[in-house]
Amino acid sequence: MTSETPHRHPEKRNLPDQPSPRKPKWIRVKAPTSAAYGETRRLIKDKNLHTVCEEAACPNIGECWSAKHATVMILGDVCTRACAFCNVATGKPKPLDPGEPENAGLAAKEMGLRHMVITSVDRDDLADGGAEQFAKTILRVRESSPDTTVEVLTPDFRGKAGALETVIGARPDVFNHNLETVPGLYPSIRPGARYYHSLKILDRAKDLDPVVFTKSGIMVGLGEERDAVLQVMDDMRSARVDFLTIGQYLQPTPKHAAVARFVTPEEFDEYKRVALAKGFLHVASTPMTRSSYHADKDFAALKAARERGKG
């Protein structure tokens, strides 16, 4: 296989010697069967859009698409990196589709979205990492559907000058950049990224726009220690992150990093209590939590929490 050929399950170094443990009873995924799910799927295809729901094999796709909520993935569907947890195809991406921003805006309007999440693959091949396409998409969504609030979940842009400024300049309502895991697991789980660089992005976003809500998330069950998770919370608060998501890592294929253990619902509840005590405005912490899961409801809760803080 050449680097020009996309592949969905690249061989991973650093795979655990043991296979993932059997899923416990609290991990349940609903099969997509509703008519609304089919309508959402048709609309996404008609607009020639990609979604992280499909590309990353999200376990919540049935529930979200049935509620007509989808996370649009721009910059194509082929990533220039190969993280050990991610199911998105890796290889040499195609040129940018100039119709993506317009189609995303039309999708927001036709779906009647109150809140839209825009994410992307990593595009290290682009001079700006795809930042301008993010900005164009935000603006087109606002033009087509003025009542839709916009959340972006961006890559780290690998330090490309002006990229973050371009995205924040388009005034998203929520700026999300995931740390994904604790720093000690970056070499094996997120080798193409740097923990403190990602923290700096979140902090810098607040410098550029103090009003924007910032958000970040991690997966647990990869072998991290509790103290390391609590340190990540402290690091996020130091970077002025408003909203935290914590969810259980699920192995997409046998060639991806194995699950070290399944964190119990009680542990997720405890993480939430600790995180709220540390000052996050809103925390979503359950086994099935994902960055964009219930993002519309969580945004409303986040906004209400900020207003209470002003009172």
Q: Is 2 a domain residue? A: no
Span 194-220, pLDDT tens digits: 999 999 999 999 999 999 999 999 999
> The pTM is what?
0.83
Domain assignment present for residue 201? The answer is: yes
Instruction: Mean pLDDT check: name the lowest of 158-162, 183-187, 295-299.
Output: 295-299
User: 56 in helix, strand or coil?
Assistant: coil
Q: Helices (DSSP H) in 31-81: which residue ranges?
A: 35-46, 52-55, 61-66
Residue type, 173: D
Look at residue 145 and tell me whether its pLDDT is greater than 80.
yes
Q: Is the residue at 279 inside a domain? A: yes
| pLDDT value, residue 63 | 57
User: Could you write out the DSSP letters of every residue in 230-268?
Assistant: HHHHHHHHHTT--EEEEEE---SSTTSPPP--PPPHHHH
8-state DSSP, 211 = T
Tell whether the model's pLDDT for residue 66 goes beyond 70: no
- pLDDT band with cut points at 50, 70 and 90 for residue 101: very high
Please check whether residue 149 lies inside any domain of the structure: yes
Single-letter residue type at 103: N
Strands 50-51 and 71-74, how do they pair? antiparallel
Residue-wise over 124-135: b if at least 16 C-beta within 10 A, else e?
Answer: bebebbbbbbbb
More confident residue, 139 or 86: 139
Residue among 233, 218, 141 at smallest CA distance from 186: 218
Considering the domain boundaries, does residue 3 fall inside one?
no
Residue 18 in any domain: the answer is no
Number of independent structural domains in the chain? 1
Is residue 183 included in any domain, yes or no? yes
Range of the domain at 276: 35-310
- CATH assignment at residue 97: 3.20.20.70
pLDDT digits (tens, 9 = 90+) for 47-62: 666 655 554 455 555 4
Q: What is the pLDDT of residues 232-275, one digit of tens each?
A: 999 999 999 999 999 999 888 888 899 999 999 999 999 999 99
| Average pLDDT estimate for 285-304 | 75
* Maximum CA extent, the chain: 59
Q: What is the pLDDT of residue 47?
A: 62
Could you tell me if residue 13 is inside a domain?
Answer: no
Q: How far apart are CA 84 and CA 64, in angstroms?
A: 25
pLDDT of residue 221: 96
